Amino acid sequence: MRYLKRPVCLVTACFLMAVLTTEGASPDNELQTIVAAGDPWPPYIDEMHPELGVSVEIANAAYATQGYRVRQMIVPWARAMEGTRVGTFDLVLDAWWSSERSREFMFSRPYLDGSVKLIKRKGDPYIYEGISSLKGRLVAVVRGYAYNEELNTSPEVQRFEVIDFASAVAMLLKERVDFAVENELVARYRLAQVAPESLTKIEFVEPPLSVNLVYVISGYRNPRHYEYINAFNKGLQIIRENGVYSDILKRNGLQDLNRGVP
């Protein structure tokens, strides 16, 4: 599940607004406000991003076509999920699907790829053929992340804990470990910010360790959950057809990373 992929960021709750209108949308002062909640997880939710993250930017573009705008709140992940479950908040914009969650939340169509992959040094001929193919290889993992059950528990895998993803890549490039692990969108986005030169020195291994798509969700206890999810789905279709969705991905350097989204 998405919230297990990295530690919950305990930040002060605050209201932050990001509005993106598209051609044919209602004027800004006529848009109805929908409240979303989540914790920072760049590039999806990102306090440093001009639109507060790619997920917020896409959601606002889609919702503006249907007469809504999103007000993104930054809160701890557990609070975001529980508040959305009971209807205190309307949406979480960057959730992964699980059977457990599907009992409490209505899911939108998927709109971004959140798959987790091994990362190797460029030129390494390694081919991933299941967890057993990692036998004898050292994998840098970030302490507290749950990438998938097999990777976390398999006796075939030698794991080396690090404090953050940047440390994992640094160790990889120094040949102190054989692999790092991360969601490809997150990895590329973070490295482009802090170590862009490293992107030419690494490769993402196919197939993914786990395939995860990103969804907008709304709690079934929210009396308007169907309205909100249906509006997002309709708006998403519109911005895919008119090119706005593609423009957002290109602007954020993610145009080549969304092949797994139907």
Please give the residue that has the higher pLDDT: either 209 or 33.
33
C-alpha to C-alpha distance for 114 and 235, rounded to whole angstroms = 21
- Which pLDDT value is given to residue 16? 35
The answer to whether 39 and 92 have CB atoms below 8 angstroms apart is no
Q: Does residue 7 have a pLDDT over 70?
A: no
Structure tokens at 84: 């959305």
C-alpha to C-alpha distance for 142 and 160, rounded to whole angstroms = 8
Please give the residue that has the higher pLDDT: either 261 or 207.
207
Q: Does residue 17 have a pLDDT over 80?
A: no
Question: Mean of the pLDDT values across residues 18-24?
Answer: 38
Q: How confident is the model at residue 146 (pLDDT cuts 50, 70, 90)?
A: low
C-alpha to C-alpha distance for 252 and 258, rounded to whole angstroms = 12
Residue by residue, DSSP assigns 104-120 as TEEE----EE--EEEEE
What is the reported pTM? Answer: 0.72
Residue by residue, DSSP assigns 144-181 as T----HHHHH-TT-EEEEESSHHHHHHHHHTTSSSBEE
Q: Does residue 170 have a pLDDT over 90?
A: yes
Strand partners, 30: none
With b for 16 or more beta-carbon neighbours within 10 A and e for fewer, the 201-223 pattern comes to ebeebeebbbebbbbbbbbeebe
The answer to whether 37 and 115 have CB atoms below 8 angstroms apart is no
- Which pLDDT value is given to residue 186? 83
- Which pLDDT value is given to residue 259? 60
Is 218 in a helix, a strand, or coil? strand
Phi, psi torsion values for 221, nearest 5 degrees: -75, -15
Average pLDDT, the chain: 85
Please give the residue that has the higher pLDDT: either 61 or 13.
61
Percent of the chain with pLDDT over 90: 57
- Which pLDDT value is given to residue 8? 35
pLDDT tens digits for range 37-76: 998 888 899 998 899 999 999 999 999 999 999 999 999 8
Residue by residue, DSSP assigns 36-89 as EEE--BTTTB-TTSTTSSHHHHHHHHHHHTTTEEEEEEE--HHHHHHHHHHTSS
- Which pLDDT value is given to residue 190? 82
C-alpha to C-alpha distance for 95 and 43, rounded to whole angstroms = 13
Residue by residue, DSSP assigns 19-40 as ----TTPPPGGGPEEEEEEE--
Please give the residue that has the higher pLDDT: either 257 or 83.
83
Domains of the chain (ranges plus CATH)?
2-113+213-251 (3.40.190.10), 116-204 (3.40.190.10)
Percent of the chain with pLDDT over 70: 85
- Which pLDDT value is given to residue 151? 82
> What contacts 163, CB < 8 A, 6 or more positions away?
142, 143
- Which pLDDT value is given to residue 27? 57
pLDDT tens digits for range 118-143: 999 999 999 999 999 999 899 998 87
Q: How confident is the model at residue 12 (pLDDT cuts 50, 70, 90)?
A: very low
